[in-house]
Every structure is written in structure tokens, then in C-alpha cells.
Structure 1
Amino acid sequence: MSSAPSRSNADPVADALTAAVAAVSARVVAVGAANPVVALDGRSGAGKSSFARRLVAAWPGHGCVQLVALDDVYPGWDGLADGVDYARRVILSPHARGLIGVWERWDWEASARAEAYAVDPSLPLVVEGSGLLTPEVARLADVSVWVEAPLASRKARALDRDGDTYRPHWDRWAAQEDRHLEAHHPERLADLVVSVP
């Protein structure tokens, strides 16, 4: 009797994320830095957040890894580009210069910045979010990743996750992602392209 899982029990999304974590981990090791920066971009629902959490959990080194999700940074439903610029200025640029970065969480209910968080430049940093891979951000990252997935899968995952809160804003957010793709071609800026079913 085989101990291998049957095809009926296989989880292709989990398998894709496991392979992606291994590929990115190998690139992190190749960088050889104590404080590498990994930037994960992809459209909404592609699997960036799950990927980032798995990467941090399986980090190929010792010590703490900092994770910033741009969902905590974007200033509202029209804030994709502004959120990425904010992250570049207050998180990624200071980290690259060896300075402590301080960012404030966006409170979606209050429509205002809230509590502050520090980013230690001596520690590894993973940043994930739609719109992240611009030319400026790509220059600040040691490893940059574009996560792609089919529209139907992405929409199902995003709406299962955020439901009625996100549903009225799906098209509005997708239009901002479209502008990002047209302006920056993030898949071309990425060191690695990951496909998630």
C-alpha cells in the first residue's frame, strides 16, 4: 500500500505554494544577506498572503522575519498606488539604508492611519501586496516575486476571504491593478514568477 496521497485528496494550491516557498527560499539563501528583502506582488486573490505566511514560517535562517501586508497600509479602496508609495518611502527605503522604518496601519473603518509599527533594518523583511512591484521597489528588493492565478480562482478566494466587504469594490480595485500592470509590467520586474491554480 502506498503512503502517497491519492489524487482526490491533493490540494493543488497548497502544492503550488509549497513549491514556490522552496524556490524563493533557495533565492534567499543565494543572496547570502542577514537581512534580505522579499517583495511579493500579484493581483487580488492570487495567494500572496498565504504564500507570505508560509515563507515566513519556513524561512531559511534563524531569528525573526518581519512581514508587512499592504492590506494594512493601503489608504482605502482607491489607495493601491498611494499605499505602495507609502510602503516604499517609510518601510523599504529606510530598510535599504540601514534605518528603522516606522509605518502606521490604515484603519479601514475610521479611514485614518492608526497605531505605528517599527521595521528593524537588521532583520529580514517580507512585504506582500497588490501593486508592489514597481521599478523603484524592485531595486530595493533582494528577491522579487510575481504571483499569478486565473481570474475565477482569484475572485473566489478573495470573496470567500472578505465576502460582502470586498464584493462592492472588486471592479474598482481590479481597475487599479490593471493600471499597475500596464504601467509597470511587474511580471517582468520579478526574479521569479509563481503560478497558483
Structure 2
Amino acid sequence: MLHLDDIASHERLFAWTDRLTAQVIEPLSRGEAAAYLPYDWNARAFGPALPLPPEPVILLEGVGAGRRALRPFLAELLWMELPREESWARGRLRDGAAQREFWDGWVEAERAHFADDPTRPHAGLLVRQADQGYEVLPGPARHRGSGQGVTHSDGSTPMW
């Protein structure tokens, strides 16, 4: 699993596609192990490289994972159906006072990202929190026959 929180940074909340492509997508698409520099949100610096072997499935998790530049590399796109305000409240609670200023900027950056590059319409599956676990439903793209479910090229590692 690759968390996009490790790829993004304070300076590049959503402008990280080039880093992800160079450090992860390109090596994996060649069947090679990837290595990425994880971002430390408290130290505001990138740490030492972490390996990411070319597994049969790699879960790419986080806001922006379904952006148009990445969709050709995805085997499937899942959308976590959660009201924005609830998601933001969970993040603020998780990160505490130390990241209060960050969250003020994040909310506007996320709104701008999805206004320019919506993800939900391209999701093959919707995931909703239920009373006991999660419920998985067909997404908007499944209803119109998405091209998801295949990898970018033969032999590449699919990212979900």
C-alpha cells in the first residue's frame, strides 16, 4: 500500500504527480521495484527512501489517487463515500493543533482539486461506512461501462 500522504507535502498538496510518476509508476511499469521518499508532515522534510516491490496489486490510497493523470495506470478506482465535512473533521482530530494551519489550507486546496479534476464520476466502486464495517456498491463509472479493470500495459503492476 502506498499512502499519498507520503507523496504530497506542505508545498505540493496536489502538485506531486511528477514525483509519483518518477519514483513509483515508472519503475513499477517496468516490473522493477520502486523507491519513494516519504514526507514527514511534522518535520516538513522528506525522509529516506522506502522500497515498494512490484506486487500483483498495489493499493494507492489518498485524495488525488483517482486524478486524470493516474487513471490510465489504475486497475480499479474506488471512491470512499464520506461527506467532506466529516472527512475534514476526522483529519483535524487525527492531526491535532500542530496541523491546524495546514488544515485551513487543505480544505481550499481539496475543493480546488476536485473542481478541476473530479474523481467520483470515474469510480468503478463506491465504498460506504455501514453500521458493521463497509458496504461496497457499483460506482458511477461501472454504470456507464468504465475502462477500469485492466492495467496500463502488459506486465505492469496494477494500482487500485
Do these two structures clear the TM 0.5 threshold for a shared fold by scoring above it? yes
Which residue is equivalent to 2:111?
178
Deviation, 1:173, is 0.6
CA 1:68–1:122 in structure 2 vs 1: closer, same or farther (change >3 Å)? closer
- 1:194 is aligned, of 93, 118, 127, to 127
**CA gap 1:138/1:95 in 2 versus in 1, 3 angstroms:** same
Alignment check: 8 A CA contact 1:91 1:102 kept: yes
1:71 aligns with 2:5: yes
Written as runs of structure 1 = structure 2, the 5 A alignment for 1:150-161 is 150-161=83-94
**Alpha-carbon distance in 2 for matches of 1:151, 1:141:** 24
Cα RMSD, aligned residues only? 2.1
TM-score, with structure 1 as normaliser: 0.58
Structure 1's 146 and 88: CA in aligned 2 closer, same or farther, altered over 3 A? Answer: farther
2:88/2:107 contact within 8 Å kept: no
Structure with more of its chain in helix, by fraction: 1
Q: 1:86 to 1:196 in 2, by over 3 A?
A: farther
**Is residue 120 from structure 1 mapped to residue 49 from structure 2 by the alignment?**
no
Distance in 2 between residues matched to 1:195 and 1:160, nearest whole Å: 20
Change (3 A) 1:163 1:173: same
Q: Secondary structure at the match of 2:51?
A: strand
Q: Is the 8 A contact 2:77 2:123 kept in 1?
A: yes
Ranges in structure 1 where 5+ consecutive residues have no aligned partner:
1-66
Secondary structure at 1:176 match in 2: helix
Q: Take 1:97 and 1:179, find their aligned partners in 2: how far apart are those partners? A: 33
Deviating beyond 3 angstroms after TM superposition, the runs of 4 or more aligned structure 1 residues are none
Could you say which residue in structure 1 is the equivalent of 2:65?
132
Q: 1:102 aligns with which of 28, 32, 35?
A: 35
Q: How far apart, CA to CA, are the structure 2 residues paired with 1:152 and 1:109?
A: 23
How far is 1:88 from its partner? 3.1
Cα deviation, residue 168, structure 1 = 2.1
Secondary structure, counterpart of 1:194 in structure 2: strand
* TM-score, scaled relative to structure 2: 0.70
Measure, in 1, the Cα distance between the counterparts of 2:26 and 2:116: 21
Aligned length: 130
